[in-house]
Amino acid sequence: MTNATNAKSRWHRDLLVFALLCTLWSALLIFRVIRDPFSSQAYPFQDVFLGIKFYGHAARITMTVQAIAFAAFGIGILLHQRWGLILALLYFAQVVISHIIFFATNFSVPLQAIHVKITAVEAPIVVVILLYLWIRSRPLLAHALT
């Protein structure tokens, strides 16, 4: 019984703050999908998911899926559920892979040059987030195996 109590105390505040920020980010993504229902032909609604750029209705769907994922793992972590950590790790691994794919496939596309530069700046940030999650979640996930 003492081990179960100790496992609860290992959920560090910074991890819970991260989960709260992810949940708020989810709300912001949903707001963005709802706020801009009709994009112009010159500037269609855009989203990148799994390294593929989507436009218009498809982009709204992919952004909504990502918002649901952020909400799910954010709430899971806030509720001290290990599945929330696993989902967050899988999601951010997907984000890192998505950045690599997008960068590699659009590096020589002149119309995507600014987006490639943004991806190059974001990539180290998402790698750091993934490493942070891995370091913080390892003891919690390892405890579940013992």
In degrees and rounded to multiples of 5, residue 42 shows phi and psi of: -70, -35
Domain ranges of the chain: 2-145
Confidence label for 22 from pLDDT (cuts 50, 70 and 90): very high
CA torsion through residues 118, 53, 124, 13, sign: positive
Q: Which amino acid is at 144?
A: A
pTM: 0.83
The answer on pLDDT for 118 being more than 80 is yes
Residues 78 and 84: their CA atoms lie apart, in Å, by: 8
The answer on pLDDT for 114 being more than 60 is yes
Residue where the block lists tokens 């229902």: 37
Summarised one tens digit per residue, pLDDT across range 2-15 is 454 444 557 889 99
